[in-house]
Amino acid sequence: MGPLPERLATLVDPRCRRGKRHPFVAVLLIACSAVVTGATSFAAIGEWAADAPQDVLARLGARTATVFSARVPPSGATLRRVVVRTCPGGLADLLGHDPAGGDTLAVDGKSARGSRHGTRPAAHLLAAMTGTGLAVTQLRVPDKTNEITCFAALLEPFDLHGVTVTGDALHTQREHARFLVDVKKAHYAFTVKRNQKNLYEQLRALPWQEAAAKFYDRTTGHGRTETRVVTALTVTDLGVDFPHAAQVARVVRHRTDTKTGRRSRETVYVITDLTSRQASPERLANILRAHWLIENRLHFVRDTSFREDASKIPPDMVRRTWPHCEASPSTSSAPLATPTSPPDSVRSPAAPTNAPWNCSASADLHLPLIKRLCNRPGPLIPHLHPYAYP
């Protein structure tokens, strides 16, 4: 699909036809721009829009008023109503990246702890991200269920032919494996831990001493030295009770704390339908490490840069819609450096200026899409007439 404004234009405007004053796309663009510059509340978004200079409002498609063609931003109440009522599923699909033709796709969930109110649990969001660090989509997990029941619904709309889908031990489910291989024509690589007791013991008892395919890797960082030994074993004829299982990998991690010298060892198993010709032990190790991108480039960005866990937005439609502004490709694909401190005040995000776009809320968070939108000459949406939306 085309640029962000063209994508947003395909959404259904939830407002009534009468009384519209601000273009629907412009309202969403202003909200997204405010969020990526540090706004963590609707009050902060409204203040950012009120302080925006005329050239920024023009590039974002704000409506004109008076004989001087002054750009008028939407009020905080208008921004809140539009964001609340916009379809969260459509917004997630439009702002997400198409995983077709990719190598891996990681699926994982997180809870927005700040959204817990009284006896109502915190909103839990299930998301998907490519192996290159691009957010694909997400959905809200119903309160009285868990991620398992939403796995198929999350991936159903996408073409996953040939893509390897990774998941943690919670998603090591037989139904998930059949759905991916039989329905989506994809591959899977699931971690097996003791929550699947029978399967775990079955994999543990395999003849690992006979395995010849191994891969060694050593990394140093985060105050520790870690050595990983990946051993792969073909299990086609070994009677492993899991649909379409072709290989099992045993990953042994040896960690040494660089300060205290304390050592630890951890063993996990990975089951996959990829054959030894399709995935060597080295590739299996790369697939496992790619799964952690969703932790580093999605969950970590939201918690550190956007302070999602500190948000007190109730777990309603707002909680389902708000994170899509944060999970757009402009933020999730950004390479991460040392995290910076969040804005000093929830109600005082980085104020827009007439200078080239500068995100002072997080200096290490690159925003190529918003930069391109706000530094290009002329109006962002040239086809919008000032009175196209009465």
Read off the pLDDT of residues 241-275 as tens digits, 9 standing for 90 and up. Answer: 899 999 999 999 999 998 899 999 999 999 999 99
Average pLDDT over residues 91-108: 84
Q: How confident is the model at residue 301 (pLDDT cuts 50, 70, 90)?
A: confident
Is the pLDDT at 155 greater than 50? The verdict is yes
* Span of 69-73, 252-256, 365-369 with lowest mean pLDDT: 365-369
Of 229, 201, 226, 205, nearest to 215 by C-alpha is 229
DSSP class of residue 182 equals: I
pLDDT given for residue 91 in this prediction: 67
Q: Which of 341, 346, 373 is nearest to 357 (CA)?
A: 373
Q: Is the pLDDT of residue 348 over 80?
A: no
Instruction: Name the average pLDDT for the chain.
Output: 78
**What does the pLDDT average to over 33-53?**
88
For residue 176, the tally of other CB atoms under 10 A from its CB is: 21
93 — pLDDT class (breaks 50, 70, 90): low
Q: What is the pLDDT of residue 343?
A: 37
Amino acid identity of residue 147, one-letter, is E
Bigger pLDDT: 317 vs 346: 317
Which of 144 and 8 is assigned the larger pLDDT? 8
Average pLDDT over residues 302-314: 67
Predicted local distance difference test score (pLDDT) of residue 298: 83
pLDDT 10s digits, 157-182: 899 999 999 999 999 999 999 999 99
- pLDDT tens digits, residue range 2-41? 477 887 888 888 888 888 889 999 999 999 888 888 787 8
Looking at residue 325, its pLDDT comes to 55
Window from 34-38, 280-284, 316-320 with minimum mean pLDDT: 316-320
Which has the higher per-residue pLDDT, 362 or 141?
141
pLDDT confidence bin for 311, thresholds 50/70/90? low
With 0-12 CB in 10 A as exposed, 13-18 as middle and 19+ as buried, what is 380? buried
pLDDT of residue 139: 83
Average pLDDT value for residue range 181-203:
93
pLDDT at 132 over 80: yes
What is the pLDDT at residue 162?
94
pLDDT of the residue at 52: 92
Ranges of H-type helices in the chain: 4-8, 24-36, 42-51, 54-59, 76-85, 88-95, 151-155, 174-178, 197-204, 281-291, 293-294, 300-304, 317-326, 329-332, 368-375
